[in-house]
Amino acid sequence: MAGDGKLIRVDLDYANAFNSAGHACLWAILEKFGVPDIDLLKNFYDLASMQLHVGTHETTDIFMDTGIAQGSVLSPLLFILCINALLRLFDNSELQHGVDRVPQFNHLAFADDLSLYLNSEANTNKLLEKVLQFEHWSGLRLALSKSFITGISMGKARHAGHRLWHAIPGEGLRSHQGHIYAIVY
């Protein structure tokens, strides 16, 4: 294992992910990819509304400015395009997990589940800064209570042998004055 003999894995969970994606970020992504007829989607989302019915009473129209239409066949693709913007930030960071004889990468993702793999606290915090930037831009927010860090120290690291850090939801990730950072025990 390269670096200081650590492999740090950060599992991130987005709170209410599919309902939180900002429409402005979706339109920006689609425009960047050159998708034609974005106005059709904008109209679909801008004109969509709902009403609540309680007994014989109903609310006025409620319009949504965030989230992906549930039940639409297009919705999973729109959400993946949104998350893909964050994954591209990770790819462009040039930070890697550092495990010898293994293809290098720094993340794995499936829908709204995301895992980061890095070899130092400093590199982990660099990617977490990108996560924070993405939060501000996209409207998606981490559920810190459902996110956690695990890791292993190997070889010539400070502790001989193998040492596994425990995965306790909410432990190891902190938010302070608008910044998310990793604490490795």
Residues 124-138 have pLDDT tens digits of 888 988 998 898 899
Q: What is the pTM of this model?
A: 0.74
Cα–Cα distance for residue pair 163/39, rounded to 1 Å: 54
Mean pLDDT over 63-68 rounds to: 78
Report pLDDT for 100.
81
Report pLDDT for 38.
92
Do the Cβ atoms of 125 and 147 come closer than 8 Å? Answer: no
Mean pLDDT over 11-21 rounds to: 85
Report pLDDT for 91.
93
Report pLDDT for 89.
92
Report pLDDT for 174.
54
Residue 142 CB-density burial (10 A; 0-12 exposed, 13-18 middle, 19+ buried): buried
